Amino acid sequence: MNVVEPYEPIQHHWFFNQQVDSKDSWQPFSREDSQRLEDAYSRVGKCEKDEVVVVTNGRRYDVRLRERKRYSVYWEQKPAEVRRCSWFHKGSKDMNYTPYSEELSDLLEDAYMIAMTLDEWKTNLELPTGETVIFHNPKLMTQYPSSCKEFPPSPNEQTQSRTLKRGTENIPVEIPEGEPEIVDHLVFMVHGIGPACDIRFRGIVQCVNEFRSASDSLIKSHFRQSEDSCIIGRVEYLPVNWHKVLHGETTGVDKDIERITLPSINRLRQFSNDTVLDLFFYNSATYCQTIVDTVASEINRLHSLFLQRHPHFTGHVSLVGHSLGSLILFDLLTNQETDADGTPHELREDVHVDTGCGSYESLEEALKGHGLEEHLNILHREQMDMESLMLCSEKDLKDIGIPLGPRKKVMNCVKKWKHSRSGSGHAAQNETHSPSLGMRNEHHTPTTSAVDYQHFDVGIGQVSIDYPQLAFHPQAFFAMGSPIGMFLTVRGLKRIDPNYSFPTCKSFYNIFHPFDPVAYRIEPIILSQDMDLPPMLIPHHKGRKRMHLELKEGLTRVSSDLLGSLRMVWQSISQVPTPALAEGGISSMTPTDEAEVSPMEQEESNFTKVGTLNRGRRIDFVLQETPIESFNEYLFAIQSHLCYWESEDTALLVLREIYGNIQVRNAHL
């Protein structure tokens, strides 16, 4: 007698549709997020009219439950469809299983429950879409197209059939681990030229997501004991996109450039207009101001929004810039202003807005002073105050429903308020510390003299603009694949004063790949010219040097030892005096003892103090090239400039700075 297997209700899991190249790609939420969505679904029921919002993905996304859509919080992104999934299907040519709609899943589950309860199989279920599903047994279920009217189906109809699976446990899908609720540190990442950030032409959001994933994995592998003990949580990385604003309708620069672009080699010219021209824009007073304002306002906006969503956050903030993005941040940090007590101007509580638009201490006073009080309700609904209003763009005001006329008035006053705030900082020279770098005069005896970096004139190469202030003190600034050194040299800066440091940021790391054609060093323009200090080698995240580098250095040492032995033998049998040999060729070609040890193997404990940009520590850090890259450095030059977003070694260096003295465990394979 056959024992009928009891029916067990299905365990639902929530998915979202992350489209890739206009194709559906259904991805599962983490178990924690899925359970959070399921709990909310169970509480509100299907008849609930009010929208219910559930935060997911480390609070970077909100899911509107009734709408079944996932919305990004920090950046612009098309809303993604969300499903409560239980049944999945896959065709013979498909790579992955696709979830059925919730309605079809309910029909399939009801039919499956009846078949299980009655132990009746080989039954057919016709779907509302016209397809037919055959329940062969609890493990084998097949869907056939609507053209199939007779069974068994024809060979052609067999190829169009789809395999059905019930529950996520029966399909090959990796459910991601949830993210810790506690955020220890916030990092803003600024991109370089162009809309694409890596060799796969992905945007800044995708690349930052990749870096965040690498960081999360390294925390689990290298800081596991601290994570398990709840000593540390996680690091949040947020993208800062300035390219979209520069090339948007507000500036209109793309249309102007298009009118003067030649029609030949169209794709190459379009690529140049989208990427290389950003360098020229940054050296234009008009567009440099736009770029710097966009970066600073976006960072401040994201910082404010992050604090709203993480009200208990007590950690620090750091900055990462790639390529031109690192130069933008360098200039921005160099021109931050502090009071005598070290407080940024933007954080002063006693700064009142005083311009031609009036002197106001509150949002209510400001709007009433310009006859705009009727819009107070809208701004109060969005939890606006004077500080947050000054961080808004015109698009932000449009999105919340402020009409065109009042919107223009508000933006005009905001512009004047910002200018007043910036101007008040310049006026009080006796209360502020003026940022300066050291520069050697070209026309006189080489000396190091203080130069006001903020007021470089056009002859020096740095355009004169008003630098906005950040709303926080960064803990560290990481430059990846950075041309900072080159730009400073082109601007006429011969040497950075060893005593100079950023006014509000005490740590600075210049990270580069050895084959990166855009990257330049920083330490040589701090140290004296007679010092030749190689960059620090960034340790491999698996705890050792790459094997091909060890082999290369091993062969170098062997050849050095062999040449040394041959020299000793030759000296013992030769009548020629040793000094004469030294004047010949053999001794001069033999590496010294210092050269036998790779300069990149130096420990930081043995280094020379390198100024104060990184609190006296080393600044230049070089990645290890991969074995395949070492075969042809020219072939991988472009890729090396775009490698940082996926570099686990770079991510680990960032984590080491963030977590300081917490013990790091090397992860050997």
Catalytic residues: 323
Strand partners, 510: 479, 620
506-544 burial, b at 16+ Cβ within 10 Å, e below that, comes to bbbbbbbbbbbebbbbbbbbbbeeeeebebbbbbbbbee
Closest CA to 459 of 479, 443, 435, 447: 443
Residues 546, 551, 554, CA angle at the centre, nearest 5°? 125
Q: Can you point out the beta strands (E) in 73-139?
A: 80-85, 87-91, 98-99, 123-126, 132-137
Helix axes of 266-274 and 253-260: crossing angle, nearest 10 degrees: 150
Task: Using DSSP, state whether 518 is helix, strand or coil.
Answer: coil
What is the DSSP track for 327-374? Answer: HHHHHHHHT--BBTTS-BGGG-TTPPEEETTEEESSHHHHHHTTT-GG
Q: What is the DSSP letter of 197?
A: -
- Going by their DSSP bridges, the two strands 80-85 and 69-72 should be labelled as antiparallel
- Going by their DSSP bridges, the two strands 13-17 and 80-85 should be labelled as antiparallel
Amino acid at site 68: R
Number of H helices and E strands in the chain, helices first, is: 23, 23
Own/partner contacts of 160-164, CB < 8 Å, gap of 24 or more, are 160/91, 161/91, 161/92, 162/89, 162/90, 162/91, 163/89, 163/90, 163/91, 164/87, 164/88, 164/89, 164/108, 164/133
Distance CA 620, CA 602 (A): 13
Distance CA 480, CA 657 (A): 15
- Count other Cβ atoms within 10 Å, centred on residue 118: 11
Q: Is the dihedral of CA 344, 205, 190, 33 positive or negative?
A: positive
Amino acid at site 183: V
Q: What are phi and psi of 50, to 5 degrees?
A: -75, 140
- Count other Cβ atoms within 10 Å, centred on residue 578: 10
Token pair in block for residue 668: 């050997």
Task: Using DSSP, state whether 663 is helix, strand or coil.
Answer: coil
